[in-house]
Structures are given as C-alpha cells and as structure tokens.
Amino acid sequence: MNFEQIKQELKFAFSRSSGSGGQHVNKVATKVELRWNVLDSTGIGQEEKLLILEKLDSHVVKEHTVQIFNQKSRSQFQNRILAIAQLERLLKEALAVQKDRKPSHKTPASQHKRLAKKKAHALKKRNRAKVNFNGVDLSYFE
C-alpha cells in the first residue's frame, strides 16, 4: 500500500458543521467529507482492494467509494488532517494480517488444583446439608 499515492486520489467536500462554535458555526463550512474510490486507486493492489471493500463495508457507499466524515475541530484544515489520519488507520487495520491463534493446553498442575478446589467446595456443601438419623436414638443428646 502506497498511502502517498492514495492521498493524491482523495476528494474532499465541505459543509457546515454542527456543535460548538457559536455564530461562527453558521458562517464557515468546517465539516469535512472525504471520498476515495477504492477500485480506481493505483496505490494498492487488486487483492488489497477486495480486502478493503470487505472489511470497510460500513464506510463504503455506492460505486465502491469509501466515505469518511469529520467535524471534531472548528478548523476545516484540522478536520481534513483528522479525516486523512482516520482513513490511514482504517486501511492499516483492514490490511493487517491476523496471527493464527495457537491453542494452549491446561497444565497437569492447573488441572489438579481445579479438581481439588471442586472437591473442597462439594465437601463444604455436603457438610451444610440436613442430617438424616434414620432410626438412631437421639435421647443421648438431650
């Protein structure tokens, strides 16, 4: 992935932002809409394009275009930088190769400890149960 090449392909649109800014918010278009056509890009390979379209499907709109909005800052320039950074982060996450999980085994000591704890808990519960004397003369205890 050549992100410098991708930066050249980005298209921006600006609109009025919601949120803080007072009267200024009604005059200046600070909200940034970043658009990038994945299939027309020359900064990534064909396999990477398919992977990006699959993993970033929540950001993909019609015609295979990734769309990102940003209005966190009062500055149009700052929002533009934040949108580019967000796209770069999303692309890196989408193209990151997941490591295969190696299943681990329980050690014999951990198994023994678990079973001993289970037996102690069962004994504690058994000792709390009501005692049935089945015909035993209880007059001795009175």
What's the pLDDT at 21? Answer: 67
> Which CATH number is 74's domain given?
3.30.160.20
Domain that holds residue 74: 3-95
Has residue 37 got a pLDDT over 70? yes
Based on the structure, what is the number of domains in the chain? 1
Strand pairing category for 31-37 and 11-15: antiparallel
40 lies in some domain: yes
What pTM does this model have? Answer: 0.66
106 lies in some domain: no
119 lies in some domain: no
- List, for residues 103-134, the tens digit of each pLDDT value: 899 999 999 999 999 999 999 998 888 776 77
56 lies in some domain: yes
